[in-house]
Amino acid sequence: MTGTRRPFPGLRCGKSVAPYISPNLTTGNGMRNVEVFELIIVGGGPAGLCAAMYAGRGMLKAVLLERGVPGGELLNTEWIDDYPGFEHVLGRELAQKMTSHAAAFGADIRQENVEAIVRRDDGMFEVSTTRGTIYLAPAVILTAGGTPTKLGVPGELEYAGRGVSYCAVCDGAFFKGETIAVVGGGDAAVEEAEYLTRYAEKVYVIHRRDEFRASKILQERLFANPKIEVIWNKQVREMTGTPAGLQSLLLEDSLTGELTTLAATGCFVFIGFRPNTGLVKEHFAHDAGGYIVTDDRMMTSIPGLFAAGDLRVQLTRQVTTAVGDATTAAIAVEKYLKDRQTRALGVKVGV
């Protein structure tokens, strides 16, 4: 691909830039490292990688910041069978393909743990990281996904990593031949319970209601699996065990309040997740669950801040919807930067 990068006010692409240093960019050891871009993408899941690919195609000077290995939740999913063009593909394989595709278009992917995203009065964003680097850009696409919701019961934190898990693909193999429990009633809980039967001898699915929210096809697979038993109308109230790990769950009947004990050496919790929006240090429009409200271009209520993927308000959250969001956001950023440059030059922007 040939072409030239389109500059914006305050940035001379392809040349060194004298960085703006605000008062809060200093530490006891002196100035922090500052780098300037046209676009910063925070989060390296499917949405972030897709945004990076389109940014590369658009010849934008962009950087993708991801605290771990690129791929996001794909790395926690064994098989993907609902992504067009791939009838059956390993999650980690699809993640690798997406990463390679973005890199082929020049994506600058860096392992950085973002601490905060702050919009300055001049419209530039400061994205700070734990390593001390400050990234500056007039546009940010936030694709940071979410964090698994905890049950918040006694013993949960104590036995995390010693029986309690939030990732079946990551930890399932540690429970070969054991009896385990899965908590939840949505797609994730039902799908992961079925997956865990390849390792566990017995899988109990604990749900606080008398019916699942999961899709019908997933429910059919679960009910047809002889290793799975559903425990309806029960809630986990406590997790107990020994120094070696989890041993049992205390359950409360949602209707009668009766308490019973279930022997289980593993408990996988899939009751939802919270969007990782705490990085944004400014109020933005969101729904009751904290998911970001955007317009049809993925722009948030903060000018220049775009959101894509699982942290955005939408009907469903799938790999396909994440990359669709990211496609729109990346292309919208191009127009946003062009309009910003035009305004800076004093030219009236058409509608």
Q: List the catalytic residues.
A: 167, 170-171
Report the alpha-carbon angle 276-213-201, nearest 5: 90
Cβ-based neighbour number of residue 92 at 10 Å: 17
Please tell me whether residue 71 adopts helix, strand or coil conformation: coil
End-to-end Cα distance, the chain: 30
Please tell me whether residue 39 adopts helix, strand or coil conformation: strand
Q: Which whole-number Å values give the CA distances from 77 to 1, 22, 103, 145, in the listed order?
A: 34, 42, 22, 15
Rounded Cα distance between 338 and 231, Å, is: 57
Structure tokens at 307: 């959101």
| Under 8 Å between Cβ of 127 and 110 | no
Contacts of residues 209-214 at CB distance under 8 Å and 24 or more positions apart, as own/partner, are 209/185, 209/233, 209/254, 211/185, 212/185, 212/186, 213/185, 213/186, 213/187, 214/185, 214/186, 214/187, 214/189, 214/190
Rounded Cα distance between 150 and 18, Å, is: 45
Radius of gyration, CA atoms only, the chain: 23
DSSP state letter for 292? B
Query: Considering all CA atoms of the chain, what is the largest pairwise distance in Å, rounded to the nearest integer?
Result: 72
